[in-house]
């Protein structure tokens, strides 16, 4: 990650550090704080500091590499569950809902990126990660919220860890299930899916030993290509026979919409990798903006998701399964190839998804306690291995995680992708906007917060009820 992630205990200020002069003695800093303003503000100081010019990344990524990472971070198992999500919501609500949720997610990501840049200018640090942005924003906001700044970093990290590790669990089950579907058909046996999980365990550990995002870019490129080819084949199966609207619901039930909301959030959001990707860029100014990397990626992602959900549901109707690959004809080799290719692509994506969980666990907690140990690298590899084993063991314990897609989306991404960015913007500009501009900001972000809370509560509770019902029925 970036050299200065915004949660070190000291920081050098301005050109004095760059020119090699001795910086002022830093203030005493609370170890619970990720960031702190080291030096008293001087008039015009903020406008003189450009965080982008002070980032020193060992292996910076290009715009195209960042776009590839962002696409791969969003194009995973979620898109294969979109036809099932449209089944829950109805095809009309599905199309409109996916576009609106996509717009809301993109807007909130822009809020987060702009707030990070503004806070970096004020604190005179090159970059901040998600927990650091949240904490710094609270310190800049209303006095009533400042006491929460010490605990907010751990709340954000818990949400990030649950989501990223949950995603990795889904990936393990998806890869193993598709391999099982292929092997069982040709061997005419019914092997326990846990055996295939065990087979892929060592390769999963090895790909998560890659310590730099830039080295994952070639794998992401391959995975994107394989995924797009697989989607093309799936579309062939969808369109090779006439599409019918007969017996296809335009509007689903309220409980169905709650499941749809969680699934779309899970599918669309890659909030955990947004700031790490932006912080690793060679030209971070190109990430935002009307024609930046983010908007280009989100337009492609939303278009693909609407297309797959809409036409997949029209093709299979109420017979659609949790993953559309399970509806493809087993007797055709091409359909089996799709399962194998997507299993390979999702396997590669496991490294990117787990990268964020590793970064949080190692850099924010374990590394601080280990200090300057000469065996630091060895301990990091141990941490990486343990996190992969956790996702593996959870997948083994619960080898059917389709319903958990909606749960993870509603629980974690309603907070991380919608509520927190609105809170961060409000706090960042609380003392810097006056009059109607401030009223509009607070009103707008309050509405966004209400939507996020409703999505979290209703989506999570509905998903839990469905999970209990499903496992209770199985028992």
* pTM of the predicted structure, to 2 decimals: 0.78
Task: Chunk the chain into consecutive blocks of 10 residues (it has 475) and report each block's average pLDDT, rounded to whole numbers.
Answer: 35 33 42 43 56 78 83 76 91 94 92 91 86 92 90 89 86 88 87 90 90 75 83 90 87 86 81 77 82 88 91 90 85 91 86 81 82 80 92 81 76 89 94 92 95 90 80 54
- 339 and 326 in contact (C-beta within 8 Å)? no
H or E element that contains 90: none
pLDDT of residue 38: 36
* 142 burial type by CB count under 10 A (0-12 exposed, 13-18 middle, 19+ buried): exposed
Terminus-to-terminus CA distance in the chain, angstroms? 45
pLDDT of residue 40: 40
- 400 and 180 in contact (C-beta within 8 Å)? no
pLDDT of residue 47: 53
Under DSSP, the state recorded for 26 is P
Under DSSP, the state recorded for 372 is S
pLDDT of residue 15: 32
Inter-residue long-range contacts of 424-428, CB under 8 Å, 24+ positions, other chains counted = 424/111, 424/112, 424/115, 424/133, 424/134, 424/137, 425/111, 425/112, 425/114, 425/115, 425/137, 426/141, 427/137, 427/138, 427/140, 427/141, 427/142, 427/145, 428/115, 428/118, 428/119, 428/137, 428/140, 428/141
- 59 and 31 in contact (C-beta within 8 Å)? no
pLDDT of residue 290: 81
Q: Give the number of other CB atoms < 10 A from CB of residue 275.
A: 26
- 109 and 130 in contact (C-beta within 8 Å)? no
């Amino acid at each position: 990650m970036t050299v200065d992630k915004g949660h070190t205990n000291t920081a050098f200020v301005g050109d004095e550090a760059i020119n090699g002069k001795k910086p002022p003695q830093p203030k005493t800093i609370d170890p619970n704080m990720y960031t702190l303003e080291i030096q008293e503000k001087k008039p015009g100081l903020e406008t003189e500091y450009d965080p982008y010019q002070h980032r020193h990344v060992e292996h910076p990524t290009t715009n195209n590499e960042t776009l590839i990472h962002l696409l791969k971070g969003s194009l995973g198992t979620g898109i294969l569950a979109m036809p099932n999500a449209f089944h829950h919501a109805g095809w009309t609500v599905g199309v409109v809902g996916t576009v609106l949720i996509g717009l809301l997610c993109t807007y909130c990501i822009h809020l987060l990126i702009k707030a990070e840049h503004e806070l970096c200018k004020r604190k005179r640090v090159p970059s901040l990660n998600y927990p650091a942005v949240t904490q710094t924003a609270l310190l800049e906001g209303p006095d009533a919220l400042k006491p929460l700044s010490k605990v907010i970093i751990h709340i954000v990290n818990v949400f990030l860890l649950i989501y990223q590790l949950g995603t990795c669990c889904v990936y393990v089950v998806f890869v193993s299930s598709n391999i099982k579907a292929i092997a069982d058909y040709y061997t005419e046996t019914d092997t326990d899916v846990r055996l295939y999980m065990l087979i892929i365990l060592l390769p999963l550990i090895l790909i998560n030993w890659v310590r730099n995002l830039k080295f994952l870019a070639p794998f992401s490129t391959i995975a994107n290509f394989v995924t797009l080819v697989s989607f093309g084949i799936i579309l062939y199966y969808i369109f090779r026979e006439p599409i019918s609207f007969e017996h296809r619901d335009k509007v689903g039930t309220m409980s169905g919409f709650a499941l749809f909301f969680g699934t779309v959030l899970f599918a669309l959001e890659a909030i955990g990798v947004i700031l790490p990707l932006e912080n690793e860029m060679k030209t971070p100014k190109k990430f935002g903006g009307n024609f930046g990397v983010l908007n280009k990626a989100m337009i492609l992602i939303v278009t693909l998701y609407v297309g797959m959900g809409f036409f997949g549901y029209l093709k299979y109707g109420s017979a659609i399964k949790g993953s559309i690959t399970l509806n493809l004809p087993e007797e055709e080799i091409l359909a089996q190839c799709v399962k194998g290719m997507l299993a390979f692509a999702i396997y590669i994506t496991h490294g990117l998804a787990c990268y964020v969980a590793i970064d949080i666990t190692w850099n924010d907690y374990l590394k601080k306690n280990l200090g300057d140990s000469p065996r630091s690298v060895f301990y990091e590899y141990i941490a990486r291995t343990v996190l992969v084993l956790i996702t593996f063991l959870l997948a083994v314990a619960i080898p059917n995680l389709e319903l958990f897609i909606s749960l993870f989306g509603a629980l974690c991404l309603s907070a991380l992708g919608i509520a927190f960015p609105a809170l961060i913007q409000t706090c960042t500009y609380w003392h810097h906007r006056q009059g109607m501009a401030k009223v509009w900001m607070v009103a707008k972000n309050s509405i966004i917060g209400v939507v996020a809370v409703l999505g979290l509560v209703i989506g999570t509770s509905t998903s839990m009820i469905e999970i209990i019902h499903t496992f209770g029925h199985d028992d």
